[in-house]
Copies of this chain bind each other. A is one copy, B any other.
Amino acid sequence: MKKIINQPEEILNQMLEGLTYAYDGLIERVEGTDVIVRKDRQEGKVGLVSGGGSGHEPSHAGFVGKGMLSAAVCGEVFTSPTPDQVFEGIKAADTGAGVLLIIKNYSGDVMNFEMAKEMAEMEDITVETIIVDDDIAVEDSTYTAGRRGVAGTVLVHKILGAYADQGKTLQEVKEMADKLVPNIKTIGVALTGATVPAVGKPGFVLEDDEIEFGVGIHGEPGYRKEKLQPSKELALELVEKLKAEFKWAKGESYGILVNGLGSTPLMEELVFMNDVKELVEKEGLVIEFKKVGDLMTSLDMVGLSLTMIKLEEEWKAQLEYPVTTVAW
């Protein structure tokens, strides 16, 4: 294992200290917790809280700020935050209008966020939840019943964040969330496994010329191993999978997010984006939002995921809505 760390058991704390030091004009750590909160909370607006295990940076703390999340709750590497930490996040995010929890669909996250919701309700904070399950690769998985929540979650942060910033009520934000999530789908491909620092070796190993489609962001098994393919072939596989899910028609409006999994050079993500472009143009889709970068990573995994969102008119503006975050 070759990592720039100190004691593996101190990574979470040291990472959060580094993050809040680097961006101390924007975010801060709630004292005694692993909660990152925006400094400029606005009274009376719905609070958005997300989080989960660490190792997916910049998710989620990098998306805390005006127009996106109010707070992020950061668990140990690939480990759900505890209910009391999530509760701290809720308290930090609530300014009187209630809080929506944006939860990636992992059993541990769902359980702990739900428990935190109950704790908050006992203190008269109104809390709603939305579970993001955008990964179409597999049904049920190592840590999940149903589908996993992956990079599409960041688009949920973005759209709901704009909505909340515009002063919508908790009920309105929750209704938007319910409508939004089924319209976001993601599928990925891994070229290498990810190494959890405390473990010291990759969670799974691929041969030198092998890739795996549909691997999860904690290294959960995908749906097929194959020899390494050119980018065009990878794009074709992923776009075909998304097409089968969306059952899109020519002329429909979509957005695209190409997301690097941590150790993928941006150059390659851009080459891949160009291949996706050619395919969606051939399909006759109208692409009205595009983004490329490392938004939801899996430590040092090499690979990428492709997220598509079927766009409603209103969501386009929300995706372009200005934000003040570390990483959008």
Which A residues form the contact surface with B (CB < 8 A)? 2-7, 11, 14-19, 21-24, 54-55, 57-58, 62, 191-192, 208-209, 211, 228, 230-232, 234, 258, 262-275, 277, 290-292, 294, 297, 299-300, 302-304
Contact = CB atoms under 8 A, between A and B. Distances in A.
Contact of A15 (B62, B208, B274): B274
B234 A291 contact: no
Copies in the complex: 2
A230 B11 CA distance: 12
Given A6-B232, A191-B4, A231-B6, A57 B267 contact: yes
Given A19-B270, A270-B18, A273-B18, A4 B234 contact: yes
A2 B228 contact: yes
A266 B57 contact: yes
B264 A22 contact: no
A292 B15 CA distance: 12
B230 A18 contact: no
Nearest to A304: B4
Contacts of A231: 4-6, 14
29 contacts: A2-B191, A2-B208, A2-B209, A2-B211, A4-B191, A4-B231, A4-B264, A4-B268, A4-B271, A4-B304, A5-B231, A7-B230, A11-B271, A14-B231, A14-B270, A15-B271, A15-B274, A16-B270, A18-B269, A18-B272, A21-B273, A21-B277, A54-B267, A57-B267, A57-B270, A262-B265, A263-B263, A263-B265, A263-B302
